[in-house]
Amino acid sequence: MSESPTLGLALGGGGARGLAHIHVLMALDDLGLKPQHIAGTSIGAIVGAAYAAGLSGAEIREHALEAFGTARLVASRIWATRPPSLADFFADGGFRLGQLNAERVLSAFLPRTMPRDFALLKIPLTVMATDFGAGEEVAIESGPLFSALAASAALPALFRPVKRDGRILIDGGIFNPLPFDLLCGRYDLVVACDVTGGPEGLAPGRVPTPVEALVGSSQLMMRSVIHTKMLIRAPDVFVAPKVSRYGVLDFMRARTILSDTASLREEVKVAIGRRLERSDAEDDAQE
């Protein structure tokens, strides 16, 4: 294009698999492109928030490697997120399977320089969550940032739901695992990265454990939602790194995930280049 295109960036949910999103950010940095808007779900919202706060892709990569550098460091940070009292542990109806407080976990692992409110971000950000009571998606764009990110990442089997603005919010991936649909038609170029993957490989004939079945069925559901949305309107650039070999909680394998998905950085740059060349050709044909 003769002028720099406006860019919308969508980053999807997928737990530790979403560390691959960092390569997309590094590709944009390489190209000198900055999104006008970022929309994210779960890990996509978390990585997107760090980028929207002004961190570069390389800085986010280094922080991820440091945050998940050793099992001892991770264990100490998780321990620090435990309920402060027995009363808090049994609040809202007693002990729960998903007892972790996602907002406390985020505070323990995100960079200390992260702003606490959407208004302080340098790039507009939309964070997707699901309203459990109303049974609908919720797009959060203002107010406290960490509670929004916590709601988006609140996988029911792991984290407690988040109370916000009179709603009970859970994992945004249930309704909108890759929110490129919020950006299409609003920007010249929409780039989307899908890290849903699929259930981890099982030995032939082995029945998945209850946790494997729960997580795997969620992944299959999210893939179905994304596929249906793609049939309606696809983003200009869609990438889906091969991340199914990693579990959604494999954050301790951060270095391996980033290494194995490193080719995504060049893939994104090539895909964007081809899309912009096609746009230039279409513009020339119309003149």
CA gap 140, 90 in Å, rounded: 29
3-state secondary structure of 2: coil
Write out the two tokens for 44.
């996509």
Tokens 């792991």 -> residue: 158
DSSP 70: -
- The upper half-sphere exposure of residue 228, i.e. CA atoms within 13 Å in the direction of its Cβ, equals 9
188 among known catalytic residues: no
42 among known catalytic residues: yes
φ, ψ at 41 (rounded to 5°): -125, 130
CA gap 202, 215 in Å, rounded: 13
Answer whether 179's CB lies under 8 Å from 40's CB.
yes
Give the pairing of strands 125-131 and 37-41.
parallel
How many Cβ atoms from other residues are within 10 Å of residue 95's Cβ? 8
CA gap 130, 151 in Å, rounded: 8
Helix (H) or strand (E) holding 49: helix 43-52
User: Which of the residues 147, 152, 171, 218 is marked catalytic?
Assistant: 171
**CA 168 to each of CA 15, 122, 163, 164: distance values in angstroms, whole numbers, following the listed order:** 21, 28, 5, 7
Our CA angle for 133, 138, 141, nearest 5°, is: 140
**Rg, the chain, Cα only:** 19
3-state secondary structure of 117: strand
Q: What single letter denotes the amino acid at residue 261?
A: T
Residues with a known catalytic role: 42, 171
